[in-house]
Amino acid sequence: MSEQKFTVLPKHVAVIMDGNGRWAKKRGLPRTDGHIEGAKTFRRIGEYAGNIGVRHITFYAFSTENWSRPEAEIKGIMHLFYDYLEEAFDRLDENREKGIRLRFLGDRSRIDRELAGMMDRIEAVTADCSKVNLNIALNYGGQQEILSAVRSIAADVQNGTLLPEDISLQSIENRLFTAGQPPVDLMIRPSGEQRISNFLLWQSAYAEFWYSDVLWPDFTERDFDEALAAFEKRNRRFGGI
């Protein structure tokens, strides 16, 4: 489809990729089939967002709570991450030409060592790209992210490198997975749910929210445009008048 033009674009868009399982269930398919289709949508929307000028986009791919799902489903999701990273390495020259920097947000201690190694490598080889920052939240939880930042600050206070009175909002932001990136301007959640689900809690303090009943595998560039068009019309006062 042709790319739309917008007078105001959010600097940072966050997307909760929700509804894969329900998409599959409606069609009598295994839940893993829904995740496969959802992964295709992720690739398509991520590329489209970069093409129209969105500089930072974060996708919620796997939360810290998702480990409670059936083992077969978890294995299927992790296999999709392997496939995505292998494809990212195959398309490395193309993605570098587009200026795509790839980063993973979340706790890697529970991630398979081989997969975590691939994550480290793709981040390293795209670190100098600056046109599009594409973040994938994997084993991510917003409360856990803030807790980690607070523990880091407490350790600095304990060893004497930081005074309590010098702790600032910036002190916390510098210790988040998104350090150096702007706060979330627009949070998109398809599938009919209307909650934040422990996603980018700090970063979304003044985010605009946009909801849709479309299940993620059916989400299209037109739906993304609709969210951006709604964002253009919002009056963002940030607590002012």
User: Looking at the 3D structure of the chain, how many domains does it have?
Assistant: 1
Strand segments, DSSP code E, in the chain are: 12-16, 56-63, 100-105, 132-140, 186-189, 208-211
Whether the per-residue pLDDT at 1 is higher than 60: the answer is no
Look at residue 37 and tell me if it is in a domain: yes
Whether the per-residue pLDDT at 171 is higher than 70: the answer is yes
Look at residue 31 and tell me if it is in a domain: yes
The dihedral through the CA atoms of 30, 21, 214, 234 has a sign that is: negative
Pairing label, strands 186-189, 132-140: unpaired
Look at residue 174 and tell me if it is in a domain: no
Alpha-carbon gap, residue 240 to 98, rounded angstroms? 38
Annotated active-site residue in 18, 33, 185, 223: 18
Tell me whether residue 18 is one of the annotated catalytic residues: yes
Please give the single-letter amino acid code of residue 93. D
Which pLDDT band, with edges at 50, 70 and 90, does 237 fall under? Answer: confident
Look at residue 173 and tell me if it is in a domain: no
Question: What's the first-to-final CA gap in the chain, in angstroms?
Answer: 39
Look at residue 175 and tell me if it is in a domain: no
Tell me whether residue 135 is one of the annotated catalytic residues: no
Quick one: which H or E segment has residue 143? Answer: helix 142-158
Confidence at residue 62, expressed as pLDDT on a 0 to 100 scale: 97
Look at residue 150 and tell me if it is in a domain: no
Confidence at residue 17, expressed as pLDDT on a 0 to 100 scale: 98
Alpha-carbon gap, residue 180 to 177, rounded angstroms? 9
Say whether pTM exceeds 0.85. Answer: yes
Annotated active-site residue in 66, 107, 156, 225: 66
Torsion of CA 186, 187, 192, 194, to 10 degrees: -110
Confidence at residue 78, expressed as pLDDT on a 0 to 100 scale: 97
- Tokens representing 70? 């059936």
The neighbour count for residue 108, using CB atoms within 10 Å, is 15
Look at residue 165 and tell me if it is in a domain: no
Domain extent, residue 88, equals 12-142+185-232
Whether the per-residue pLDDT at 231 is higher than 70: the answer is yes
Q: What is the CATH number of the domain that holds 81?
A: 3.40.1180.10
